[in-house]
Structure 1
Amino acid sequence: MNDSPGWATPGSSPSDGEGSHGTQPPAPAARPSGDGPKWSAEQPPPGQWSSPTAGQTPPSAPGQPPAGPQQGWGSYGGQQAGYGGYPAPPGGPGAGYRGAAVKPGVIPLRPLGLGEILDGAVATMRKHWRSVLPITLAVAVVVQLASVLMQKFAFGDVVLDQSDTASLDDQINALGATASMTLAEMFIQLVGTLVATAMLTMIFSRAVLGQASTIGGAWRESRSQLPRLFALTLLLGVGTALLIGVLLLPAILAGSVGLGVLGGFAAFGLVLWLWIKFSLASPALMLEKATLPKAFSRSWKLVKGSWWRIFGITFLTNLITGFVAGIIVLPLTFLGATLFGGGIDGLAEGTGSASWGLLILTGIGGIIGLTITMPMQSGVTVLLYVDQRIRREALDLELARAAGIENYGTGATAPPTGG
């Protein structure tokens, strides 16, 4: 088993004061005593995370004896967590050491910039399309097929009569039927998306090391965590609904529109903040084989101090994928409405929304859009998780060892570049 994310699992993180579950390399020959320097709140920018050359003596931390040229790994848990066996220099891991970062896979092993994260996601989709494309295509076909059949045979039979003569029972029954079918459609989409996310997480974690993945291998590595991933997603959804309900309840009880607007803004801000704080829980759950509480805790710690950066990258990714999906789905929807749905008026009035031609063209657009955007979103989330662990926990040491890079941190020699 490879000792890297997605296989033997990193297990507990350095920030939690526990060692990795995988096989550990030999400890350095000597370690200075004391608690050692703490991580800095300011992390080094991309392009400045590299190892000292062989034989070089790095600067010692304040209050610590000089460190000699050692090899191996620094220990975890904040006790002399270092880089290539050296104590962490002042300013955070990797600060003060300059040089070229190695790149065994789709990203260099150092803190990443926005462009490198997006490029890594696209590079994985391009280089490993034989594994990525069938997964996302199969999920997109199932999701869109369910949506088309629901709209044709279920929603088409439900009529919401808004006239004054309509009875209250008829309206309630129609609304209940619509809500039930909508929930069923959302459940199918949720299950498909979770399966794709779980398998794509494993593919992207291997792509970081330059290793190829198979569909069967990704399924075997991810299936044991699928129930927990489903529970995690369900908890996030239920928690969001409860939080919104609690903040809007005073306005509903008081019948105040102004209080409702205030509660809505408060709910939006709090939900957004918590959503970003827990945005890395999914890759932590899958790659560390963590429990639900551990996954939430890991995400909270990794996002701490980087909320705005992760929010910006996540927002930009959703903006890009939304735009890409829009330019694919909207033209096919308008074409279907023009040819089969009575034009724009028929689409607006809903008279042509159940025609086979419109539904099929819209479904084809949805399949293409999901096939492209789903791996992009999953890839950015996984690479954000890897980036944060490199910045905070020197995960590049473990990744370099798993990628077969010799003497990483002391003038490393990279293996042939993979993809």
Structure 2
Amino acid sequence: PGWGAWQGPPPAAKPGVIPLRPLGVGEILDGAVSTMRAHWRTVLGISLTVAVLTEIVVVLLQGLVLNESVDTDALDDPSATVGELTRAMGDTMLNSGVVLVITLLGTIVATALLTMVTSRAVLGRSVTAAEAWRDSRPQLAKLFGLTLLIPLIGATVIAVGILPGLLIAVGGASDAGASLAVLGGLAAGVAAIWLMIRFSLASPALMLEKQSVRKSLTRSAKLVRGSWWRVFGIQLLAAVIANIVASIIVIPFTFLAGALSGDGITGFLDHTGELGWTFLIISGVGSVIGSMLTFPITAGVTVLLYIDQRIRREALDLELARAAGLPGQGPGPSGTPGS
């Protein structure tokens, strides 16, 4: 080109896994994968350790305690009484609830550690699992409370939406009450989804800014304001990708486990086979591999989305450039983004 030809703006600095400018959807997803690829020892080590420990506890509980104490035969018995069905459903919910709590604890620990790894990867710095644990440990209790609080808020909103219809149905107008409960539940479900996306960036805000639970929720609401649909779309896309990856791995292991235990694959599909230790161990291996690959995707996308929103609203890219020690930016803090 001749003298004076417009060359466009210079490319954004990229000290780590993302360029320091507002990010596109593909760049956020690529940044999460690049973190896993560039720091695979730490990322996969954390994910594998948490997934293995979680699955061992789940398998032992199911094999030694839950499967022995849970009787679900009544659910397949057309002649079962209401009391038997209620007891069977209660046992099933207890089984699922215990497994859910254990899985949730593992997810919280993995999310906390991987948040620290991803935030350092943005600056082009590596971090060991021990360093990530040391940085995240003071916030783990708060993260646990936050992780429980957000779905509790959503469940409360839905319960409030359904309650008027239930009261009317109990009062005698069953048809009108049922219709009102359905409409109220749908409206409350939309409101609950809106709130959960509004608070979806509270976790990285809590971990990286060392905020309290309440301030983290407020911080997330501020960052998401005006970008709700964008945040929703990226979070949904990341969840779909993570679930597809997990399904590709978990489903074959589940069928293999069913084929090698009890009455084979036919008994597994008909729910008539005995799902013993063989099934639990083989399906557990599939769950471990699936979690090892999905933990970094979901945690990485959330952290990078949080950083992207701060770049767009607060020019965090300038602070990150200084923290990364880029030429011409001056000295900056050596901590994680947002700290």
Which category describes the TM-score, using the shorter chain as reference length?
0.7 to 0.9
Find 2:71's aligned residue among 153, 156, 159.
Answer: 159
2:125 counterpart of 1:211: yes
In structure 2, relative to structure 1, the CA distance for the partners of 1:99 and 1:277 (3 Å cut) is: same
- Per-residue CA deviations over 1:200-221 (Å, capped at 9, x if unaligned) read 1010000000000011110111
5+ residue gaps, structure 1, are: 1-96, 410-419
8 Å contact from structure 1 (residues 154, 181) kept in 2: no
Q: Once the 2 structures are TM-superposed, how far is the Cα of residue 355 of structure 1 from its aligned partner? A: 2.4
Aligned mates of 2:312, 2:63 — CA distance in 1: 50
2:39 counterpart of 1:132: no
8 Å contact from structure 2 (residues 159, 185) kept in 1: no
In structure 2, relative to structure 1, the CA distance for the partners of 1:164 and 1:326 (3 Å cut) is: closer
2:286 is aligned to 365
Find 1:230's aligned residue among 144, 147, 153.
Answer: 144
Which is further off, 139-148 or 285-294?
Answer: 139-148
8 Å contact from structure 1 (residues 152, 354) kept in 2: no
2:221 counterpart of 1:300: yes
2:333 is aligned to none
Find 1:326's aligned residue among 227, 247, 269.
Answer: 247
2:62 counterpart of 1:148: no
Q: Once the 2 structures are TM-superposed, how far is the Cα of residue 293 of structure 1 from its aligned partner? A: 1.6
8 Å contact from structure 2 (residues 261, 274) kept in 1: no
8 Å contact from structure 1 (residues 156, 354) kept in 2: no
- Per-residue CA deviations over 1:325-352 (Å, capped at 9, x if unaligned) read 1111111111222232434442244332
Provide TM-score, normalisation by structure 1.
0.70
In structure 2, relative to structure 1, the CA distance for the partners of 1:328 and 1:192 (3 Å cut) is: same
Aligned CA-pair RMSD: 2.0
Residue 200 of structure 2 aligns to which amino acid in structure 1? S
1:200 is aligned to 114
Find 2:19's aligned residue among 108, 116, 122.
Answer: 108
8 Å contact from structure 2 (residues 263, 274) kept in 1: no
For 2:294, what is the secondary structure of its paired residue?
Answer: helix
Matches within 5 A, 1:20-419: 98-157=9-68, 158-160=70-72, 161-162=74-75, 163=77, 171-253=85-167, 254=169, 255=174, 256-352=177-273, 354-408=275-329
In structure 2, relative to structure 1, the CA distance for the partners of 1:350 and 1:291 (3 Å cut) is: same
Residue 252 of structure 1 aligns to which amino acid in structure 2? L
Aligned mates of 2:288, 2:62 — CA distance in 1: 16
Aligned mates of 2:273, 2:183 — CA distance in 1: 39
Which has the larger helix fraction?
Answer: 2
- Per-residue CA deviations over 1:175-220 (Å, capped at 9, x if unaligned) read 4443333322222111111111111101000000000001111011
8 Å contact from structure 2 (residues 151, 196) kept in 1: no
5+ residue gaps, structure 2, are: 1-7, 331-339
Residue 337 of structure 1 aligns to which amino acid in structure 2? G
Q: Once the 2 structures are TM-superposed, how far is the Cα of residue 407 of structure 1 from its aligned partner? A: 1.6
Aligned mates of 1:132, 1:230 — CA distance in 2: 21
- Per-residue CA deviations over 1:2-47 (Å, capped at 9, x if unaligned) read xxxxxxxxxxxxxxxxxxxxxxxxxxxxxxxxxxxxxxxxxxxxxx
Give percent identity, aligned residues only. Answer: 54
- Per-residue CA deviations over 1:354-406 (Å, capped at 9, x if unaligned) read 22222222111110000000111000000000000001000011111110012
8 Å contact from structure 2 (residues 154, 195) kept in 1: no
Counting matched residue pairs gives 313
8 Å contact from structure 2 (residues 263, 273) kept in 1: yes
In structure 2, relative to structure 1, the CA distance for the partners of 1:252 and 1:329 (3 Å cut) is: same
Aligned mates of 1:370, 1:308 — CA distance in 2: 27
